[in-house]
Structure formats: structure tokens, C-alpha cells
Amino acid sequence: MKNLLPLLIFPLVFALAFVSCQEGAGDASEDNNARSVSQVIHELADLPYAHDALEPHIDEKTMMIHHGRHHQAYVNNLNNAIAGTPLADMDLIDIFAEMSQHSMAVRNNGGGHYNHDLFWNIMSPDGGGEPEGDLAEAISSTFGSFEDFQAEFKRMGMTQFGSGWAWLIVDADGNLKVTQTPNQDNPLMDVVEERGTPILGVDVWEHGYYLHYQNRRGDYIDAFWNVVDWNAVSELYAAALSS
């Protein structure tokens, strides 16, 4: 009997391992976390600063959930939507240019991934103040003054009904404009009215501010100016003009 014990135990262990794998596969098909991604095409980059670095203007908990859960979900869902299709080999900007030909899953999650990448990178704990140089001149000549630009940008954020974004864009003629888009649309997509290259954006989805500001979207946008990295925005402006 003693010699038969391994013969009885090994099949049992193997069977338990097999059942465990099957349960894991079931979980993966039901949620949006990393286990469900069948092909890693796009990846979530680390934040360029600590989660608490934008305090007190944007709180640590909001940043952790916003980046680690919301943005991660957009990345995972985008990968799932394009895996095994020709879109898996395309740059997001090229996909946006023909957005009307693709699914809502690609539109929502591709936009979600791109928009949040931009958002994290135009903010900095060393941000705030005003732009300098060519961008400052362009803002003044376009909107009248920096304060007038801020007011118009905030108005776009405040009047975006429901979830969406307010943008500063460079249009095809090299002019600055402020615009708004619903959901995760952005000005690069052929489905929006006012198209251009976004160089600044503020996320006015409630997930971006509700924990700290509740329904005070205006206070959130006012605080946003304290963390805008104008050096990064200026670089995007120069790149947009030269493209």
C-alpha cells in the first residue's frame, strides 16, 4: 500500500492544478484586467512622477485609481479589440485618422489610452505659471491674453455635458483653438467637428476629480492650472507646427 501512495497522489495533484487553471481562464474572460489580454500590443507606461506628486491639486488616491485602473482598463480593452486585426500593426494616430471606419471599442479605448498618456505628460509637480516664447505669443494673439485663454478653456471643460475632454489644439493651418469632445474622442479623430493636434487637454470625466472635488468641476479645472507643464505643452506645440 505504501508503494502505491505516489501513484494515488500524483493524479490528484495534477487534477487540482488543471481545475485551478480552468478557473483562472474563466476569471480572465469576465474582467478587464491584464490576465484577459491575449496579445500585448499597447502598454501602460508608468506615471512620470509619484502618485502623490500633484497634491494638493490632484490627490494621490485619484491618481492611483485613474492611472492604475481606468487607464489600464483602456489599454487592456484596446488590446483585446485589435488583437489579430490589421489595427494591431497601426499607430493610434493613423487609426484615429480613419476612426469612423472602426468599432466603438477601438474608438473608446484607443482614445482613452492616447488621451490619458497625453494628460499625464502635460502635468508636472513643477508645473503651473504661464507659457513662454512662441506658445505664449500665439496664445495672446489668438485669445487676447493668457487669462482669456484660461477662461475659454475652462468654459469648454465646464460645458462639456457628461464625460469628456477640453483641449487646446493646433489646427491644420497652424492656428490655436480650444475645443471639447465627448467621452474618449479626441481632435485627431475623423469623427469630431473641430480637428487638430491636441497639445493640452483636461480630463473632465468624474473619475478624474470626484473623490476630491465631488461635483465642483470648476474648482478642479482651476486647480489644474497649477500642475500644467508648459514646457511639455510648448514642445508639443513646436512639434505640431513642424508636422
Whole-number minimum distance, CB 179 to Fe ion, in Å?
17
Rounded CA gap, 194 and 207, in Å? 25
Among the listed residues 172, 177, 173, the one whose alpha carbon sits nearest the alpha carbon of residue 201: 177
Among the listed residues 199, 197, 196, 186, the one whose alpha carbon sits nearest the alpha carbon of residue 231: 199
**Which range, of 9-17, 40-48, 203-211, 226-234, touches Fe ion by CB under 5 A?**
203-211
For the chain, the distance separating the N- and C-terminal CA atoms, rounded to the nearest angstrom, is: 79
For 29, 77, 182, the CA distances from 83, given in Å and listed in that order, are 15, 10, 26
Q: Is the dihedral of CA 48, 200, 135, 226 positive or negative?
A: negative
Tell the residue number behind the cell numbers 481606468, with chain if given.
Answer: 70
Q: What are phi and psi of 23, to 5 degrees?
A: -65, -40
Query: Contact between 185 and Fe ion (CB under 5 A)?
Result: no
Give residue number: closest CB to Fe ion.
203
Site for Fe ion in 26-85 (CB under 5 A): none
Rounded CA gap, 243 and 234, in Å? 14
Rounded CA gap, 195 and 242, in Å? 17
Rounded CA gap, 202 and 127, in Å? 14
Do the beta carbons of residue 157 and residue 194 sit within 8 Å?
no
Whichever of 207 and 216 has its CB closer to Fe ion, that residue is: 207
Q: Which of 95, 110, 154, 203 binds Fe ion (CB under 5 A)?
A: 203
- Grid cell locating 110: 484607443
**Which range, of 76-84, 126-134, 152-160, 196-204, touches Fe ion by CB under 5 A?**
196-204
Query: Contact between 209 and Fe ion (CB under 5 A)?
Result: no
Give me the 81-120 binding string for Fe ion, x by CB under 5 A, dash otherwise: ----------------------------------------
Whole-number minimum distance, CB 28 to Fe ion, in Å?
24
Q: Which of 205, 209, 220, 237 binds Fe ion (CB under 5 A)?
A: 205
**Which range, of 130-138, 181-189, 200-208, 229-237, touches Fe ion by CB under 5 A?**
200-208
**Which range, of 19-27, 72-80, 85-93, 201-209, touches Fe ion by CB under 5 A?**
201-209
Whole-number minimum distance, CB 242 to Fe ion, in Å?
29
Whichever of 55 and 206 has its CB closer to Fe ion, that residue is: 206
**Which range, of 27-35, 134-142, 153-161, 207-215, touches Fe ion by CB under 5 A?**
207-215
Footprint on this chain of Fe ion (rule: CB under 5 A): 203, 205, 208
